Amino acid sequence: METIKRIFRVDRRDINYLRSTIESYDGIAVVSTINPEASVIEIQIAPGCEDQVLELLDSIRKNENIAIS
């Protein structure tokens, strides 16, 4: 099975926080910076983990006030 790739735009200052937070959930996703100037990241999500990652992103949006679009 292949990973699910999702593209997001975030504030450049939040990229490292998002990467370390998401990747701390061992094996569910990997974050790559696609374009640092435009603050575009790609999240490669392991099969069967998309709901977990989307819930985590929603929690980060609400609790950390980080804009993820």
For 4-48, what is each residue's pLDDT tens digit?
999 999 999 999 999 999 999 999 999 999 999 999 999 999 999
Supply the pLDDT for residue 55.
97
Instruction: Give the Cα separation of 50 and 60 in Å (integer).
Output: 15
Supply the pLDDT for residue 7.
98
The model's pTM is 0.92
Supply the pLDDT for residue 47.
96
Q: Report the length, in residues, of the chain.
A: 69
Distance of CA 38 to the CA centre of its chain: 15
Domains and CATH numbers, the chain: 4-64 (3.30.1370)
Query: 30-56 burial string, b = 16+ CB within 10 Å, else e?
Result: ebebeeeeebbbebebbeebbeebeeb
